Chains A and B, each alone.
Chain A
Amino acid sequence: MSLPKREVDELRPWVERTVKKVLGFSEPTVVTAALHCVGKGLDKRKTTDQLRPFLDDSASSFVERLFEALEESRNSRGNRAAGEKNRKRELKGGDSVESVVKKKRVPRFEEVEEPPVLPGPPTESPGMLTKMQIKQMMEAATRQIEERKKQLSFTDSSAPHPILPTVGATQSIAPSQAANFMNDAIEKARKAAELQAKIQSTLAMKPGILGALGNTGPHNLVALANLHAMGIAPPFLIFAYSKVEPREVTKPTPLILDELGRTVDASGKEVELTHRMPTLKANIRAVKREQFRQQLKEKPSDDLESTSYFDSRVAINSAQRAKRGFRFHEQGRFEKIAQRIRTKAQLEKLQMEIAQAAKKTGIQASTKLALIAPKKELGEGEIPHIEWWDSYILPSHIELLELLVEMHGVTNLVEHPIQMAPPVDTDKPVTLGVYLTKKEQKKLRRQTRREAQKELQEKVRLGLMPPPEPKVRISNLMRVLGTEAVQDPTKVEAHVRAQMAKRQKAHEEANAARKLTAEQRKEKKVKKLKEDLSHGVHIAVYRIRNLHNPAKKFKVEANANQLYLTGTVVLHKDVNIVVVEGGPKAQKKFKRLMLNRIKWDEPNSKRDDSDDEGSRKYNKCTLVWEGTAKERSYGEVKFKQCPTESMAREHFKKHGTEHYWDLALSQSVLETTDD
């Protein structure tokens, strides 16, 4: 009925969960105890008895569940693990010796465990070490090594790799050497056991507190020790001595009391029976809380350890649901918004009234213009005492204008300053190309061809060239190849057809050779569109009242890009400005697009034809300005949304073209005051 250790281990996560469910927190002591019971193959009643101290009333139900799970896992697993058993055990047995050695050498691994306090069975006097005790200690040590190895292999995926070769090595270690190691370990264990014994004696009375101390490892061991003391043989005995054969079920040991009334086992060693200690609920709670907290800390690693298929290289993203809480608006938020809207409406109303009044008096246009005029008065403030060009001939600020003094610099010299070449050199005389009529073109071609033909004929006549093969067609074959045609018409026809095909082929090949490749054609097209801007770039500025329609925006942008125009589009309430720069031909096309082709006042789409009927009715595009400049001031056409006028002006100013904005804005102001 007893289970192999591996299966017990596999059962561990489930047991942990169940314990947690029952107790409300995870309790490694209980888990270990329960697993031991299972491992030992105790029946339900005995397990319940064993676990009663830990689980109180819920012990029976817990055991019920435990056994159900056990049954399940056994069914599902079947004999799958059986094949592996032998090999694994051997490996582990070999390991155990080596790992004792390893423990000393690799202190890094110890952070996983408590300091190497090897728990031994509780003894009273350090001197009395029976054979049994030594055996127990050895077992304890082996167990601990087992534990550690397990943890190592689970916690650190890289750890098994360095260990594996050593495992191979240990298998080759001579038995005598192994014995040496064993003795070493025993020696150590003994020392540790003495210490442990002291601690144990003080704490023996309170298993609950014991559980609270330290990590899982020692707890388990203590609990194990307790269990062992009660006469339950731990499974590793079987590891050590009977590897292959199934475990023997040890019988319950009889209760023996010594003269002091203590429980002792057959060898006379004192045995600590676990029994409930009356203690305060508060204390228990405190202990439990402490444990719970500790569990919380360890939990993730526990979980990871518990599955043997865990691969730490694979990152696990546990599904997390964002916490959804209530989100309340601050008090008074909507009131504030409403207040703002109300004030705005009031202001608008006020402005409207003023505008109405102004319209009546007719001062609106001028005031509006004054508003948009640049505020700073261009440093006009200072009126100099004397203009600088005057001060040049009057260096000593002579106040009296009698001008008896000789004026400085007035001579009869005539200056010839450096002559600056104009920025655009258009000195080249404009030449008109010679254009021939169709008739003239044909005539010219005929003449040149005739002359070329004559030249060829001349060469043939002089014997510089072989005469060309007679050109035969089906129609003239009889005439050209008279006798031959009669003798073998089929052959001659074939010959003629071959010649015709050759001619045709040559012609088509010549055509194909002349044909531009796709790239060349593309280049030609681009070259045609890209104009020479060395003589200045042509600029056009358009103003549109409403440029919210994405379709129209797209048209503007796409056409500008296709025509290799650069520029900018600024979107501001009802003054939307399109600035484009490029060659004259592209500008011509773009102008036609803006002023003729795009129907600015048509509805955007079926959806929103109701919202701004009025504004769209008057939507139109006007040409603000067109002219030339030395070079482009913008890159590829980009849209810019400008909520305020100053922002828009700033955008233009950045490119040194603020006058476009000024003009467009004042035009729009004048337009609105006109209607």
Chain B
Amino acid sequence: MSDEDEVPVVKKARIFYGSLEEKEKLRLSREGISSTAKDAVKAGIEAGHINISSGESMEMEERVKRRERLRNILSVVGPDALKKSKKEDEKAKRTQDEYQQTWYHEGPSSLKEARIWLAKYSLPRAVERLDAARAQKEIPESTRTVKQQELHKTLRNVNNFCSQIGDDRPISHCQFSPNSELLVTASWSGLCKLWKVPGCTLIRTLRGHNTNVGAISFHPQATLTLEESDVNMASCAADGSVKLWSLDSDEPVADIEGHSMRVARVAWHPSGRFLGTTCYDNSWRLWDLEAQEEILHQEGHSKGVHDLHFHPDGSLAGTGGLDAFARVWDLRTGRCIMFLEGHHQEIYSINFSPNGFHVATGSGDNTCRVWDLRHRRCMYTIPAHENLVSSVKFQPNDGHFLLTGAYDNTAKVWTHPGWSPLKTLAGHEGKVMGLDLSPNGQLIATCSYDRTFKLWMAE
């Protein structure tokens, strides 16, 4: 009997799910405001939550009309609006003001030590890089051109080499190991997998995350000088967990706690001492792995930060955020030295060129922009894809070409400079979510929403 009673109730609820709210509103507005609510309403009017007179003086307005209008407003905003305290409002206002000016706070002393260390690390590297660039310039023009043309010719012949189903959920990220023999993929299932390339045989499955893994990244010295048992990889997930992995275990070596929101990307500093993470709480962090602590919590974006990449010298960091701006930070001084304004929608990818002064950003407005750090301007806008550009990467050794992957199921190879399309890597059946180039220049890997990753190679 009791079942029979319940059934119509459930049925009724099902039918009126759309209109219930409507009815409630109607009822509320018809019923009028209870005497208890009246005081709250008055308070609300004073606090400015409820704007009855809408700017115009309505002193002479009839009471009846006024009450009716208030009833209407209340039925829309709901009585909860009245509960909003004045205090909260003021707090929001204050924070708003804070954002309107640059201010500083003192970080820990370890931050300064780390910065000095970074300066000492990066300055010689910058000198080396510039020397190399000068040496490169000594090579006659014709030789360079021939080399360039050879490169373009090989790139024109890049084709799909192999395809492998990586997981049963979309694959969000992939990266080659520094020795180009391993490929690690991160999946939305929470599993990361280590593959042997070019054979595409599974070596190990890394279990640790429970939600979508956003990125997994090799230590710059992994497989080169590091031991297998050392920390070789770092990964991050949508629940804010960041985990460190070794090469010989399928369990994480350590966890990095401290993120309350989704961590989109994790990136290693070229020195391998620092780890950068980007978080959707509008900040990015710098972790010192030797001291095992967070040394920098950097704000600056007005929305979540999606991607982070370190300058090859180790002196700068570039971050791209969902606020459509990218920022270049000087790690030594902690200042934002360049503000990359030009994209129209979220930036999902940022990458420094190995030549040290070009930056590429990929955005949700389907373009990829190339910026010149020396002249502090946007050099070129590549109308790259027909959907958002999810990843962009320079060739890691000499930066003579550029790779972009997008949600239009393709990846494209572009000359740099010149930015003419060389080759379209089409073959994925889903959005291309990540791509990488092997450091030896042989392979290109793309991973996709269609749960596969593909390797591309020049024939």
Is B truly associated with A?
yes
Measured CB to CB, the residues of A under 8 A from B are 362-363, 365-367, 369-370, 372-374, 377-380, 383-390, 392-394, 401, 403, 407, 409-424, 434-436, 440, 443-444, 536, 541, 623-630, 659-660, 662-663, 666-667, 670
Q: Which 9 residue pairs across A and B have the least CB separation, nearest first?
A: A627-B366, A373-B418, A412-B112, A666-B420, A625-B383, A422-B323, A366-B152, A419-B302, A419-B99
Complex: chain A residue closest to B367, CB-CB: A627
- B301 adjacent to A419 (CB under 8 Å): yes
- Residues of B within 8 Å of A410, CB to CB, are 112, 115-116, 119, 332-333
Interface CB pairs A-B, < 8 A, 7: A386-B130, A389-B330, A411-B334, A413-B106, A414-B104, A420-B341, A659-B380
Docked complex Cα distance between A663 and B385 (Å): 11
- Residues of A within 8 Å of B324, CB to CB, are 422-424
Contact A367-B149, Cβ < 8 Å, known A373-B415, A388-B374, A414-B297: yes
- A413 adjacent to B383 (CB under 8 Å): no
Mask: chain B, 7-26; 1 = CB below 8 Å from A; 0 = not: 00000000110110110000
Complex: chain A residue closest to B323, CB-CB: A422
Give which listed residue, B152, B337, B417, contacts A389 with CB less than 8 A: B337
- A420 adjacent to B420 (CB under 8 Å): no
Give which listed residue, B101, B123, B382, B386, contacts A390 with CB less than 8 A: B123
- B300 adjacent to A416 (CB under 8 Å): yes
- B18 adjacent to A440 (CB under 8 Å): yes
Contact A415-B382, Cβ < 8 Å, known A387-B126, A444-B19: no
- A536 adjacent to B19 (CB under 8 Å): no
- Residues of B within 8 Å of A393, CB to CB, are 119, 330, 332-333
- B332 adjacent to A407 (CB under 8 Å): yes
Contact A378-B149, Cβ < 8 Å, known A389-B315, A412-B106, A663-B383: no
- A630 adjacent to B116 (CB under 8 Å): no
Listed residue (A362, A388, A389, A393) with the most chain B CB atoms within 10 angstroms of its CB: A389
Shortest distance from the beta carbon of B346 to any chain A beta carbon, whole Å: 8
Could you tell me which residues of chain B, from 111 to 129, have a CB within 8 Å of some CB in chain A? 111-112, 115-116, 119-120, 122-124, 126-127
Give which listed residue, A363, A422, A435, contacts B302 with CB less than 8 A: A422
B336 within 8 A of A: yes
- Residues of A within 8 Å of B207, CB to CB, are none
- Residues of A within 8 Å of B63, CB to CB, are none
- B322 adjacent to A435 (CB under 8 Å): no
Docked complex Cα distance between A436 and B19 (Å): 8
B107 within 8 A of A: yes
Shortest distance from the beta carbon of B192 to any chain A beta carbon, whole Å: 32
Give which listed residue, B322, B336, B375, B420, contacts A415 with CB less than 8 A: B336
Listed residue (B99, B145, B341, B356) with the most chain A CB atoms within 10 angstroms of its CB: B99
Docked complex Cα distance between A385 and B298 (Å): 30
- Residues of B within 8 Å of A418, CB to CB, are 99-102
B133 within 8 A of A: yes
B325 within 8 A of A: yes
Give which listed residue, A392, A413, A423, contacts B344 with CB less than 8 A: A423
B189 within 8 A of A: no
Give which listed residue, B103, B109, B116, B345, contacts A424 with CB less than 8 A: B345
Measured CB to CB, the residues of B under 8 A from A are 15-16, 18-19, 21-22, 98-109, 111-112, 115-116, 119-120, 122-124, 126-127, 130, 133-134, 137, 145, 148-149, 152-153, 156, 282, 296-303, 315-316, 322-325, 327, 330, 332-337, 339, 341, 344-345, 356-357, 365-367, 372-375, 379-386, 415, 417-422
Give which listed residue, A384, A386, A413, A624, contacts B334 with CB less than 8 A: A413
- B149 adjacent to A436 (CB under 8 Å): no
- B374 adjacent to A387 (CB under 8 Å): yes
Docked complex Cα distance between A83 and B324 (Å): 101
- Residues of A within 8 Å of B298, CB to CB, are 414-415
Contact A369-B420, Cβ < 8 Å, known A386-B126, A401-B123, A410-B115: yes
- B421 adjacent to A667 (CB under 8 Å): yes
Shortest distance from the beta carbon of A405 to any chain B beta carbon, whole Å: 11
Shortest distance from the beta carbon of A494 to any chain B beta carbon, whole Å: 43
- A366 adjacent to B325 (CB under 8 Å): no
- A401 adjacent to B332 (CB under 8 Å): no
- Residues of B within 8 Å of A536, CB to CB, are 344-345, 365
- A415 adjacent to B303 (CB under 8 Å): no
- Residues of B within 8 Å of A670, CB to CB, are 421
- A413 adjacent to B105 (CB under 8 Å): yes
Contact A625-B366, Cβ < 8 Å, known A377-B417, A413-B107: yes
- Residues of B within 8 Å of A422, CB to CB, are 302-303, 322-325
Shortest distance from the beta carbon of B396 to any chain A beta carbon, whole Å: 20
- A417 adjacent to B107 (CB under 8 Å): no
Give which listed residue, B101, B111, B123, B372, contacts A414 with CB less than 8 A: B111
Docked complex Cα distance between A385 and B333 (Å): 21
Give which listed residue, B16, B137, B365, B374, contacts A629 with CB less than 8 A: B365
Complex: chain A residue closest to B124, CB-CB: A401
- Residues of A within 8 Å of B111, CB to CB, are 412, 414
Complex: chain B residue closest to A629, CB-CB: B344
- A416 adjacent to B103 (CB under 8 Å): yes
Given contacts A389-B337, A414-B111, A415-B300, 6 further A-B pairs with CB under 8 A are A366-B149, A370-B145, A370-B152, A409-B332, A414-B105, A414-B107
Shortest distance from the beta carbon of B184 to any chain A beta carbon, whole Å: 31
Docked complex Cα distance between A660 and B373 (Å): 24
Give which listed residue, B104, B299, B382, contacts A413 with CB less than 8 A: B104
Give which listed residue, B99, B341, B365, contacts A627 with CB less than 8 A: B365
Listed residue (B100, B105, B341) with the most chain A CB atoms within 10 angstroms of its CB: B105
- A378 adjacent to B420 (CB under 8 Å): no
- B104 adjacent to A415 (CB under 8 Å): yes
- A394 adjacent to B419 (CB under 8 Å): no
Shortest distance from the beta carbon of A128 to any chain B beta carbon, whole Å: 110
Docked complex Cα distance between A264 and B60 (Å): 122
Contact A412-B383, Cβ < 8 Å, known A365-B152, A367-B149, A387-B130: no
- Residues of A within 8 Å of B381, CB to CB, are 659
Contact A419-B123, Cβ < 8 Å, known A424-B345, A628-B366: no
- B102 adjacent to A415 (CB under 8 Å): yes
Give which listed residue, A362, A407, A666, contacts B153 with CB less than 8 A: A362
- Residues of A within 8 Å of B357, CB to CB, are 387
- B417 adjacent to A378 (CB under 8 Å): yes
- Residues of A within 8 Å of B112, CB to CB, are 410-412
- Residues of A within 8 Å of B153, CB to CB, are 362-363, 365-366
Contact A363-B18, Cβ < 8 Å, known A378-B417, A419-B99, A662-B420: no
- A416 adjacent to B149 (CB under 8 Å): no
Complex: chain B residue closest to A411, CB-CB: B112
Complex: chain A residue closest to B364, CB-CB: A628
Complex: chain A residue closest to B110, CB-CB: A412
- Residues of A within 8 Å of B102, CB to CB, are 415-418
- Residues of A within 8 Å of B322, CB to CB, are 422
- A392 adjacent to B149 (CB under 8 Å): no
Docked complex Cα distance between A359 and B269 (Å): 45
Give which listed residue, B21, B104, B333, contacts A434 with CB less than 8 A: B21
- Residues of B within 8 Å of A629, CB to CB, are 344, 365
- A435 adjacent to B330 (CB under 8 Å): no
Contact A416-B344, Cβ < 8 Å, known A407-B332, A440-B15: no
- B380 adjacent to A412 (CB under 8 Å): no
Docked complex Cα distance between A394 and B120 (Å): 11
Shortest distance from the beta carbon of A5 to any chain B beta carbon, whole Å: 92
- Residues of B within 8 Å of A424, CB to CB, are 324, 344-345
- A627 adjacent to B422 (CB under 8 Å): no
- A387 adjacent to B356 (CB under 8 Å): yes
Docked complex Cα distance between A334 and B119 (Å): 75
- Residues of A within 8 Å of B133, CB to CB, are 383
- A626 adjacent to B366 (CB under 8 Å): yes
- A383 adjacent to B105 (CB under 8 Å): no
Docked complex Cα distance between A66 and B381 (Å): 93
Shortest distance from the beta carbon of B306 to any chain A beta carbon, whole Å: 13
- Residues of B within 8 Å of A414, CB to CB, are 104-107, 111, 296-298, 334
Docked complex Cα distance between A667 and B374 (Å): 30
- Residues of A within 8 Å of B22, CB to CB, are 434, 444
